[in-house]
Amino acid sequence: MRMAPVLVTIIVGLTLAACSSPRDRLAGDTPPPTATNVDLDRYLGTWFEIARADHSFERGCHGVSAYYEYREDGAIRVINRCWEDGLDGELDVAEGVARLQDRMATARLRVSFFGPFYGDYWILDVADDYSWSVVSEPAGRYLWILSREPQMDEAVLAERLEFLQGLGFDTEGLIYPDQWESAEAALREGLPEGAN
């Protein structure tokens, strides 16, 4: 009967380890600045993940994309998709909701995939034509470089990495998932009909 407390301790320890935050990639204690005047209407639609910081909930994910659309209540529906262990792997879909923290700060959203638990989604930079975006959160633990196309021009990617380094982000060890050759080649599974 002495095994029960030991098992409980092990289970609690493993649960806490699985839920632990990734390392802080941002130097200092000052949150990064966010983009100004993000037009959420233009931000909606499909984004492909070009690079990301390592974190547990996307381990082994490739062909990663996020789709955003307004819900009837004004919040934003979020559909994240990934193919496990490669583009020919099993599809994993997570659906969540995003809300503005402040109607005047459209680059700062809160996103939830687990009921009442929300995380920060800060748009640090976005192209004038909304062809790419850089996303993180106040402590810099999570980091994504996103694009409307699954393949990003190397010069544009280099500029985004330089931008992040200028803010104090450590960009070493970012993960560059396998991606589709083009948006047209990307599978549509898990997306609503008519999603762009």
Whole-angstrom distance, CA of residue 172 vs CA of residue 145: 14
Q: How long is the chain?
A: 196
Q: What is the pLDDT of residues 114-152, one digit of tens each?
A: 988 999 999 999 999 999 999 999 999 999 999 999 999
pTM confidence score: 0.86
Whole-angstrom distance, CA of residue 85 vs CA of residue 105: 37
Contact 92, 84 (CB under 8 A): yes
Q: What is the pLDDT of residues 31-87, one digit of tens each?
A: 999 999 899 999 999 999 999 999 988 999 999 999 999 999 999 999 999 999 999
CATH number of 26-167: 2.40.128.20
Domain locations in the chain as residue ranges: 26-167
Q: Which H or E run contains 2?
A: none
